[in-house]
Structure 1
Amino acid sequence: MRAVGGASSLTEQVIEAVREAIHSGELRPGELYSVYQLSAQLNVSRTPVREAMLRLAEAGMVRFERSRGFRVLRSDPKEIAEVFQLRLLLEVPAARVAARRAGPALVEAMRAELEAMRGAAKEHDERAFMRHDRAFHGLLLAAGANRKLVGIVGNLRDATTTLGASTVDRSRSLADIAAEHEPILTAVESGDPAAAAEAMRTHIAHTGELLLTQSATENGTTPTPEDLSLIHGL
């Protein structure tokens, strides 16, 4: 496992390193690991490692066992389905409201974020891409004049990220994800609330279904009809 270090939070770096190790198979589901062992491997103190593991435990990615260490858990398809059901309930109506209230400033800001996403996709800079992806969605949420929505959806996205759930280079490319945002921008620019809501629903449901299928596959199962109905808002 690679050592961590640099300007960003050590806790965040540990979370990222652990996620990478889980997806690469270096840390395997069901195996018991210790904070001391991880601290030595990453060449950091135990405090940021412990904080990172607590965050990952809250997200359901690991489980602590008293006086023994922690075990890596398989991602839970149900959690992913529930997160995306909530995103549908919040972001679809927010897109409808934003399209009603959209002015030139909002459209230009959204277009700038989409262009930045495309630029990051060409460079295959996933971190920069996701930063602009969040900003694009944040502009729509803020346009609905409910600032709490931005934080709530941000927390839902954080939960997905902490679980390590990503479709990038597994079921679609960064360029594919950017392309899914184009119909949303077009609908907002046209002042078409129904089209904006439908474009947002399509984008979120597609992302959720891909992540749900990946998670189920990792668990040796297939998505349940109940989980799929949550993803599609049925």
Structure 2
Amino acid sequence: MSNMLLMPRLILPSPAGGSLSDDVAVAVRDAIAAGELVEGTTYSVYQLAELLGVSRSPVREALLRLAEAGLVEIARNRGFRVVLPTAHDIEEIFEIRLALEPAACRRAAEHATDEHRDTLAGLVETMRGAAERGDAASFWPADRALHDALLRAAGNARAAAIIDQLRATTALLGPPTTATGRSLDEIHAEHATIVEAVLDGEGRTAEQAMRHHLESTALLLSRADRS
């Protein structure tokens, strides 16, 4: 049975140049991460459209995209259900990330523009400041933006979009620090090593540092999911 009471705080994000279906997808993804939409409950497309103040068409389009990403399951003629990632899902996600991100860091070190380098340096500094303050709310968006900036510095916007969606899936496991057992300072240090190598033009070092970061994160997330 659909349940409207579990969706009271669903809101569209501030417009950022994307389509309405993009905004709906972000709203649903954020609601899942916040526990407003819970696993095992079937939600109505009509209710979701009403809560967000949009027509059903962008809601359906957003849900189809989220279903392709494995975040929801479409219940024909009934609505949709939340699907939380399993240990196997995490393994698959990090296999893809390991195939894309380390090599991208090497290319970024070799081909990044001055603008790319300034962006990377600014983001890692934002992470450092947030870690020192214990400000997770500022830390994690900067973390996500840094990974995106590295891929774009490598010249691969499509890979950046793929990785962003994969990170959204693993984020449903809960706050990354809680899931992995690492502090914000430790996570910042891993990223700082990657960025330093990119800024120094050390492609091989950047590639190895990103591989180490991803392998460590995958192992810790898998352990947390099995505990």
TM superposition score normalised by structure 2: 0.72
For structure 1, which segment, 59-68 or 169-178, has the greater mean C-alpha deviation from structure 2 after superposition? 169-178
Using a 3 Å threshold, how does the CA distance of structure 1 residues 43 and 150 change in structure 2: closer, same or farther? closer
Question: Quick one: higher RCO (CA 8 Å, sep 6+), 1 or 2?
Answer: 1
Percent identity reads 39
Query: Following the alignment from structure 1 to structure 2, what is the Cα–Cα distance between the partners of residues 6 and 179?
Result: 30
- 1:2 corresponds in structure 2 to 9
Deviation at 1:178, TM superposition (A): 2.8
The one-character-per-residue Cα deviations of 1:41-88 (angstroms, maximum 9, x if unpaired) are 333332222222112111112111221222222213323322221222
Using a 3 Å threshold, how does the CA distance of structure 1 residues 3 and 185 change in structure 2: closer, same or farther? closer
- 1:82 corresponds in structure 2 to 92
Q: Which runs of 5+ in 2 are unaligned?
A: 1-7
For 1:58, the aligned partner's letter is E
Q: Secondary structure at the match of 1:4?
A: coil
Deviation at 1:174, TM superposition (A): 5.1
Asked whether the 8 Å contact 2:127–2:143 carries over to 1, the reply is yes
Tell me how large the CA RMSD over aligned residues is. Answer: 3.3
- Say if 2:145 is the partner of 1:138: no
Aligned pair count reads 210
- 2:64 corresponds in structure 1 to 54
- 2:161 corresponds in structure 1 to 154
- 1:230 corresponds in structure 2 to none
- 2:219 corresponds in structure 1 to 209
For 1:138, the aligned partner's letter is R
Using a 3 Å threshold, how does the CA distance of structure 1 residues 54 and 103 change in structure 2: closer, same or farther? closer
For 1:160, the aligned partner's letter is R
Using a 3 Å threshold, how does the CA distance of structure 1 residues 84 and 163 change in structure 2: closer, same or farther? closer
- 1:144 corresponds in structure 2 to none
Using a 3 Å threshold, how does the CA distance of structure 1 residues 44 and 177 change in structure 2: closer, same or farther? farther
- 2:178 corresponds in structure 1 to 170
The one-character-per-residue Cα deviations of 1:151-182 (angstroms, maximum 9, x if unpaired) are 22431332331564464453446554332111
- 1:198 corresponds in structure 2 to 208
Asked whether the 8 Å contact 2:105–2:210 carries over to 1, the reply is yes
Query: Following the alignment from structure 2 to structure 1, what is the Cα–Cα distance between the partners of residues 185 and 212?
Result: 17
Q: Secondary structure at the match of 2:178?
A: coil
Q: Which runs of 5+ in 1 are unaligned?
A: 142-146, 223-234
For 1:46, the aligned partner's letter is R
